Structure 1
Amino acid sequence: MPAPLSVIIPTLNAAGDLPQCLASLMPGVEAGLIREVLLSDGGSSDATADIADAAGASIIQCERGRGRQLATGAKAARGEWLLFLHADTALTRDWVERVRDHMTNAPGKGAYFTLAFRSDHPMAKHVASRANLRAKLLGLPYGDQGLLVPRSLYEETGGYKDMPLMEDVALVRAIGKRRLSMLSAEARTSAAKYERDGWRKRSWKNVWLITRYLLGASPEKLAAAYR
């Protein structure tokens, strides 16, 4: 029987973080859980393709845009389960056990990981804790937390939309809080944007953008503000 899990990673000049991301997936390969790792690439000009090839991952070329790239990867995937993961996120080694338990005990539901930042900054744990609390209370995890979903549920909810921003929020809202679980394994993501912009400023900007989206602002206007 083929391994059940397809991992989809959208990439664009991701060579700096990609090796750590792919290395974190190796326990899933060794455990017979991962069927394939698909990099849906939006036109990288760095060593992304070489890194993917060396790791045994497949590259799918498509037009740039994270929502579009995620949808393209999902369409090409062959697994019964899909794991969407950002290229600057690495999973802790216990992810295999947590994912396998979820597949067995909640076969019709989606899941995401506990957020952590790869940073020693004093604000890192505070921002992550607040994001995890929001995810639990509202069912709105960040895309940085990954998304594990059975293919049947992904297709039922319409999958990722071709949107310039908020594609992750749109999908988890369609899935619904009752069909989402937080896994205790961590998704340790890059803190580069927070350290560049300032932890408080970046955190509140993200909250404001999501609030505007939930109140009806268009993804196009939000993308312009985000840039």
Structure 2
Amino acid sequence: MHEADVLVRARRGGCACWTVGSSLALPPSALSAPPLVSIVVPALNEVGGIGAALVSVARQSRPYEILVAVGDSDDGTAEAAQRTMPEARVVCGDRGRARQMNDGAAPATGDLLLFLHADTRLPPGALDALRDALADPAVSGGCFRTTFDLDPGRDGFSPFGRAFMRLWESRLWMQWHRFAFGDRALFVRRSVFEAMGGFPDQPIFEDLDAVRAMRQHGRFVFLDMEVTPSARRFREVGAVRQQLRNLALWTAWNVGVSPSRLKRFYSDHDRG
């Protein structure tokens, strides 16, 4: 954060929110010892899932700070975040995952940034693994592996659908190309994030374009540790249908189809 940027606290929708503004320089004590890892959680109307994500953060080794970028959520997400983790800073702004992640990163003070989706849980030791990876100066950023929250007999998937989900978790076709979706919990050096201009302000695949930018500044690594994203979208749409759609969209992106055109084929218009 630039010395002329300060956090301005305001009341919005019944909760305390932070926005970034310009005023007097921060005192030296606020700049001398920033938390090592800043965890940014973009959350749009995630009152039902934000708690589990934050609980998984609370189990990590310090130092870290948590910033929950709620956009213009109106379902109590901000209040739920503050109840679960009172130390979390809630950042209000416009909706859109790229914008929310950039808004959350703006007031962050850590040298390392982790972007955690609101419906994704970190495994124990995740921040230690992240720190170890970025101890190598040749590494610009990276991500984790995934294991979805499948529960045989209760998750609504058929045996075939569940097997298809396990196949999707590996996504080896993406690792071969050194790309990753944001549900893998992307992390990056702050210096690299600033050099690449943050996440591109686009309606879809801001994560893939961000990974492409990270690779221009160093190696992008896949940690041998699993985060747990929610499988709710696969439950709603169908495991096979959702995965085939994702694969088709990724293929189109990979050959240069613009995000605005891809968005027309993406049914979730409230993506946050």
Alignment TM-score > 0.5, same fold: yes
The answer to whether the 8 Å contact 1:108/1:153 transfers is: no
Secondary structure class of the residue paired with 1:225: coil
* Structure 2 Cα separation of the partners of residues 15 and 134 of structure 1: 33
Q: Which of 117, 128, 136 matches 2:148?
A: 117
Structure 2 partner of 1:32: 62
The answer to whether the 8 Å contact 2:112/2:188 transfers is: yes
* Structure 2 Cα separation of the partners of residues 173 and 136 of structure 1: 13
Structure 2 partner of 1:43: 72
* Structure 1 Cα separation of the partners of residues 138 and 67 of structure 2: 22
Q: Name the count of aligned residue pairs.
A: 222
Secondary structure class of the residue paired with 1:226: coil
Structure 2 partner of 1:23: 55
Q: Which of 107, 124, 134 matches 1:93?
A: 124
- Once the two structures are TM-superposed, the CA of residue 106 in structure 1 deviates from its matched residue by 4.4
**Structure of greater relative contact order (alpha carbons < 8 Å, 6+ residues apart):** 1
* Structure 2 Cα separation of the partners of residues 141 and 21 of structure 1: 20
Q: CA RMSD in A?
A: 1.6
Q: Which of 177, 187, 206 matches 2:227?
A: 187
What is the identity, as a one-letter code, of the residue corresponding to 2:40? I
163-172 or 148-157, which deviates more: 148-157
Identity of aligned residues (%): 33
* Structure 2 Cα separation of the partners of residues 205 and 152 of structure 1: 34
* Structure 1 Cα separation of the partners of residues 137 and 242 of structure 2: 34
TM-score scaled by length of structure 1? 0.92
Q: Closer, same or farther in 2 for the Cα pair 1:160/1:53, shift >3 Å?
A: same
- Once the two structures are TM-superposed, the CA of residue 105 in structure 1 deviates from its matched residue by 3.2
Secondary structure class of the residue paired with 2:265: helix
- The alignment status of 1:149 with 2:149, answered yes or no, reads no
The answer to whether the 8 Å contact 2:133/2:139 transfers is: no
Q: Closer, same or farther in 2 for the Cα pair 1:108/1:66, shift >3 Å?
A: same
Secondary structure class of the residue paired with 2:78: helix
Bigger proportion of residues as helix: 1
* Structure 1 Cα separation of the partners of residues 74 and 45 of structure 2: 6
Secondary structure class of the residue paired with 1:73: helix
Q: Structure 2 regions of 5+ residues with no counterpart?
A: 1-32, 152-161, 268-272
TM-score scaled by length of structure 2? 0.77
Structure 2 partner of 1:207: 247
